[in-house]
Structure 1
């Protein structure tokens, strides 16, 4: 896939930001428009993280999908406790910029958002909050328990190489202390109760059987919440841990689901 970079001064973030766009073979500014998948990285990632997954590009090309890769570093794609407005940036700037400059299906029926770990949870959160913008959400090992996290449940793993989980300090810089307004705003139970039920949604979730026990538990809990609230979804548990190899191995399932549920 051909990649391009879009850079502009973000009003929401207050500084220049760049987004990578991956275009499928045969992309043209004219003719039938292309559906778009926004891919959100994990904690500490960037707009190049998803490009480490060759099967993602392969299946996106097969399904004629444009991939959009924004970045937030160690901040979530939410409006957080410190005043960083990554939700406003994603929904109010990135989507509009992509639709203005590329040949896209410029409405909710042509847009999906997916992610890994913090990006996976954020993708589902933003779809529930902005069902007028996105119609499909996908998550690989989504960190759905972030709003209820207390302390550092990953402390015994801190010596593990490549651990992609925030410390208590990093977590509270985004989410605030337990009981904060931000935590209440993005708690999955509240989002499901408050969502717009007139907008059809579809959600894909998976998690690795070799992932952290807490991560497996929170994905199972999220599945139960979706069942309780009648949200159409697909849920998988498959081999793998909390890493990009797991993400790449599941690209066919994730993007196949996205393609099947976009109009």
Structure 2
């Protein structure tokens, strides 16, 4: 599939439309967390989308982070014709359900956000019309949710993802959510992507993972790639020069969205 992704990128380079997709900010009530949560919804202009990509932000970000980091995402949505939803995942949720009632973001996305979006926008409600990816904390979150909810997602990815949290036990508020790593290693293992690969069922998920070679998450992404390869779990793995920053993500989203465009296109061709 990688050769098709590169062909798509070459093709769209000279085809990005001058007009842009419709960008809405919606509010979704989370009954589980007893609060309203915002999300950005990017819809292709003058075209009915049937598929949806859920695009997760990183640590300290919010629902608007992706359109600020990569403004051309609107043109990509118009070109590919599927909808993109960027939910607010909290400052430091890592997209887990934790013991505190105000941090139930796994439940929010899988049981509250997806049904709301599909009712509101009349997009496809089967798993082959859903994909999920994200950056950094959101890259971890996307794979974490996809591995645990293969009934919901057929396609998943990660860019610069924190796919193994254990080498960073004192960073990014994680021990506030999970406890101290040295006291609760089993809890940390249960909440890190690289320890959940056993959940992936044969031919269940199509995966695309990328990371910059100067990124502090580069080694953990390599380790995940090696483990997936060892376990014979098909996936696409791309490395490019780049750091853990917006400049890299504004570039990597082109590859991510091209991958999911090909996935959705292949599924539609089978119908």
Global fold match (TM > 0.5): yes
**What is aligned with 1:66?**
83
**What is aligned with 2:64?**
48
**What is aligned with 1:138?**
157
Residue correspondence of structure 1 range 246-261 to structure 2 within 5 A = 246-261=248-263
Q: 1:46 to 1:235 in 2, by over 3 A?
A: same
2-structure distance, mates of 1:230, 1:54: 36
Whether 2:8 is the aligned partner of 1:24: answer no
TM superposition shift of 1:73 = 1.9
Counterpart of 1:11 (choices 31, 43, 49) is 31
Once superposed, what is the RMSD of the aligned Cα atoms?
1.8
**What is aligned with 1:163?**
none
Asked if the contact 1:201–1:231 (Cα under 8 Å) also holds between the matched residues in 2, the reply is no
Structure 2: where are the runs of 5+ without partners? 1-20
Asked if the contact 1:43–1:74 (Cα under 8 Å) also holds between the matched residues in 2, the reply is yes
**What is aligned with 1:176?**
179
Structure 1: where are the runs of 5+ without partners? 153-165
**What is aligned with 2:224?**
222
Misfit runs of 4+, over 3 Å: none
TM superposition shift of 1:177 = 1.8
Q: Is 174-183 or 123-132 further displaced after alignment?
A: 174-183
TM superposition shift of 1:180 = 4.9
TM superposition shift of 1:231 = 2.0
TM superposition shift of 1:175 = 2.8
Per-residue deviation, residues 35-80 of structure 1 (Å, max 9, x unmatched): 1000100000000000020232222221101010111222211113
Asked if the contact 1:37–1:113 (Cα under 8 Å) also holds between the matched residues in 2, the reply is yes
Asked if the contact 1:41–1:47 (Cα under 8 Å) also holds between the matched residues in 2, the reply is yes
Asked if the contact 1:148–1:183 (Cα under 8 Å) also holds between the matched residues in 2, the reply is no
